[in-house]
Structures are given as structure tokens and as C-alpha cells.
Amino acid sequence: MSLQDEPSNLDFFIAEITGSAESEYSGVQHQVPFRIHHHLYAKLSAVIALAQANNKTRSKRANSRNAVLNDLLQIALEQVYSNVPESDLENLKELEEKFFTGFLKHTEEEDK
């Protein structure tokens, strides 16, 4: 199977909200409070309601709002990373690594 034949994260997400697939989430989470524009909140709520309705008919539990937001952020960031100019991509990855490493150091310090 070639890479083009493999489903994308968008494909998985659509399968989840239409009730034909489900995922489990694990890993470190970071709480980030933020405000969302009203028109985006309406769209997000509609996507969640669709997922809940489709999963209810299949006796499956729909993903939480946080899970849906994580999926949407992942899909959007994949698009950003794949479309950012090559000249900025390496810098973007270095910055990501600094934030990731810094978060892990902070987490390790809390565990002590």
C-alpha cells in the first residue's frame, strides 16, 4: 500500500464523526484556555452533535469536545507544516522541538 492509499487524519476524523470509526486517545495533555469566535463555536458544536447522533445510533460513545478540537488542530497543523515555505520549515521544526522539550522538562520537575 502506498502512502497515497493510506487514510489521512482528516479521513479518520470524518469516519469518527460519521460514526464509522472510533479512536482512543492517550499521551501527555497540556491545558490551554482560549476563546473561540462564535461562528466557529457554532460549527464545532454542529460537528460534535453530528458525531454524538451518529455514534448514539451505533451505541458508541462520541468523542469529547477536547478530542474533536485536538483532531481539528492536528489536521490544520499538518496542512500548515506541509504548506509553509521550505525556508521556514526547518526553523518551525526547531521551534517546535524547543517548546516540546521545555514542556517535558517542566513536567519532570513537577514530578519531583
Extract the C-alpha cell encoding 18: 460519521
Average confidence (pLDDT) over 16-43 = 85
Using the CB atoms, write b or e for 57-78: b if 16+ within 10 Å: eeebebbeeebbbebbeebeee
Residue 37 has pLDDT above 80, yes or no: yes
Average confidence (pLDDT) over 91-100 = 90
pLDDT reported for residue 99: 86
Helices (runs of H) and strands (runs of E) counted in the chain: 4, 0
pLDDT digits 0-9 by tens, 49-83: 999 898 887 777 777 888 899 999 999 999 999 99
pLDDT reported for residue 32: 85
Q: How confident is the model at residue 22 (pLDDT cuts 50, 70, 90)?
A: confident
Cα–Cα distance, 74 to 9 (Å, whole number)? 8
Residue with the larger pLDDT of the pair 7 and 24: 7
Q: How confident is the model at residue 1 (pLDDT cuts 50, 70, 90)?
A: very low
| CA dihedral (43, 52, 77, 21) positive or negative | negative
